[in-house]
Amino acid sequence: MTNLGIKIRELRKRKDISQEVLAEALCVSFQAVSKWETGAALPDVTLIPAIAFFFDVTTDELFDYDRYKANAKIEEIVCKAADLRSDEAATICRSLIEATTDDAVKYDALRILAEIYASKGELVLCEETLEKIPEIYFTKLELVAELLNGEKSLEAAKAQFGLDFDSAIFMLSIIRKRAWEGCDVPSAETYRKSAAALIAALKAVMPEFFERGFRAEVYRDYEKEFSEQ
């Protein structure tokens, strides 16, 4: 049984109502409620706000586990949405944006929704969605690296360095692509050389990034992309 199913059953019993009563309130079958409570199925994500409202709890309380586990569950649902048609995925993202009280989940859903709009050529909606995502001027990792000491500071600094490197290389890749599109071959070559130099510098000081971990293959792909043609 999933934690969500356990929580729904707990709240239902606390309210002293049957599965049939809950099902009628949510416009689903009592068999569906039974499956939720036994862990055989999960509620459709679009029902999460309605379930929370019915029991007068927040969505965080409904999930009944700590923030990180809640994030993991919602991210799992969002990942599954990627396998759906874009309209269905967009509906799920919009529901998450409205339902969650966790900014990290909200902004990730906004990001995915913007990507969906962009893929459909709906650039006005894409831009409007992007406007709802705030700029980030510092990260927790940066603060841990700066303000703490020892191993925690070191690990945070390495992690942030990796993120910053990813971002720099990715942006150079985009800038180079735009230069090619504009037939600005000299600039495109300059950006390629700059990216190649950054990759070489990283490999010299942190070779482990290229040897192990889930990003190693990505870094090796960067090497191939920016190697001299």
DSSP character string of 125-182? HHHHHHTTSPP-S--HHHHHHHHS-HHHHHHHHHHHHHHHHHHHHHHHHHHHHHHHHT
Q: How far apart are CA 8 and CA 2, in angstroms?
A: 10
pTM score above 0.75: no
Give, to the nearest 10 degrees, the angle between helix 86-99 and helix 67-81. Answer: 160
Per the prediction, the chain carries an average pLDDT of 81
Average pLDDT over residues 141-159: 87
Pick the closest to residue 126 from 93, 175, 173 (CA basis): 93
> In this predicted model, what pLDDT tens digit does every residue of 86-112 receive, in sequence order?
677 787 788 778 777 777 778 888 888
Question: What is residue 86's three-state secondary structure?
Answer: helix
